[in-house]
Chains A and B, each alone.
Chain A
Amino acid sequence: MFGYLFAAFIVLLLLVDRVFLPRSARRAWTLMACFMGVAAALSLAPRLLGSVSDWLGVGRPVDLILYLTTVLLLREVFLSRARSDRTLKALTQITRAQAISTARQVV
């Protein structure tokens, strides 16, 4: 029962995102839909994930998902931080140059 509800929830989210995302994000949506589709399929076939986790030697299927998700999320956090750092530095340089070029003597 949970599997069907979860899969329906994922499909609903994807449809809402498809409507409200800008055109430029459509390819990203497609990639996200693939991952979400796998999640929905696994929720409909829980024994499949159990077989995979048994084969890998991980105790429970949810532990397998947890390990993968944690590593990928942490990596994304650090990469995002590095990217935003570079963007902030560029923004600072541009803002500074503009401020200096438009400086005015008020007294």
Chain B
Amino acid sequence: MPTRLARLARCRVILSPEAMDASERLLSLAILIPAFNEGARLDATLTRIAGSMERVKAHVRGTISQVALVVVDDGSAEPIDVSPSVGASGSVQVWLLRHAVNLGQGAALCTATAFARDRLASNVFVTMDADGQHDPSDLPALLNALISDDADIVFGNRFSGNDSQVPPLRRALLKAATAFERFISGLNLSDAHNGFRAFGVRTATLIDFQQNRMAHATEIKQIVHRNRLRYREVPVSIHYSAETLAKGQRSTGSLVILRDLLSAYLFRA
């Protein structure tokens, strides 16, 4: 397995502003999708993402040489199987990994990142939810901010998008969480827990979450702050279905996140 330094050196040649301008950048894109009991929704989400790739490639400032959808089945009750029709467009690879036990979304993202970084040699990573709430047409905005602004990580912001459908109660809860996270992480972000993010290799080498579950979204901001990573925020859309809302985080989830953060602080390795 290549060392972190070797990985960084390889990708600096590809992505460094000094080496080439934006139009010449070769991007090996990995879209990381943690999945747990998603059922038929997952195939629909993957098909939608795969189908949007030609449009994404046309709008990204750089050349996407490879697109891989990396799905991590986080110990679903019924093992996930991806329909071959997902790749009918022929523009993407789809990889499926499976956790033998349910560990949490943070752990699944960590697994997907490690796989894409070390096995697929990806140099651009995007995290998306498996339930289709994130819109693939927002990918160019995320990727262009990563490339053009020379950012290490770009966060999607649900609260300034044109087509956001965040329910009022959830919006209020997320606003409170955002204020708390500004205090904890020191980052000035408008959206606390959006799973739609893009980051480069430098950030990918630093992702080794201690938090297996939802508190990883706070931990990633602590990683950004601790390592002085360059971050940006771009507007993205969110589309909730009745199923998504029913399955999504409960309000008490914020208490669980606080508990996990305190536990990590007390029992830090």
Contact = CB atoms under 8 A, between A and B. Distances in A.
Interface of A: 81-82, 85, 88-89, 91-92, 95-96, 98-100, 102-107
Interface in B97-148: 97-101, 103, 107, 110-111, 114-115, 118-119
Contacts, number: 65
Contacts of B168: none
Contact of A103 (B95, B100, B103, B212): B95
Contacts of A96: 99, 107, 110-111, 114
Q: Give chain B's interface secondary structure class.
A: mixed
Q: Which of B95, B119, B267 has the most CB of A within 10 A?
A: B267
Interface of B: 72, 81-82, 84, 86-87, 92-101, 103, 107, 110-111, 114-115, 118-119, 210, 212, 263, 267, 269
Nearest to A96: B111
A100 B111 contact: yes
Contact of B97 (A92, A102, A107): A102
A92 B108 CA distance: 10
A100 B97 contact: yes
7 contacts: A82-B267, A92-B212, A95-B101, A106-B84, A106-B94, A107-B86, A107-B93
Contacts of A82: 267
B35 to A, nearest CB: 12
A83 to B, nearest CB: 10
Q: Give chain A's interface secondary structure class.
A: helix
A99 B269 contact: no
Given A92-B103, A96-B107, A99-B72, A107 B98 contact: no
Given A95-B107, A100-B111, A106-B81, 12 more contacts: A81-B267, A82-B267, A85-B267, A89-B210, A92-B107, A96-B99, A96-B114, A98-B100, A102-B97, A102-B98, A106-B96, A107-B84
Contact of A107 (B94, B115, B119, B210): B94
A97 B98 CA distance: 10
Given A100-B114, A107-B93, A95 B100 contact: yes
Q: Which of A88, A89, A105 has the most CB of B within 10 A?
A: A105
Given A100-B111, A100-B119, A95 B103 contact: yes
A105 B93 contact: yes
Contacts of B103: 91-92, 95
Contacts of A103: 95-97, 115, 119
Contacts of B84: 106-107
A106 B82 contact: yes
A107 B82 contact: yes
Contacts of A98: 100
A28 B87 CA distance: 57
Contacts of B100: 95, 98-99
Contacts of B94: 105-107
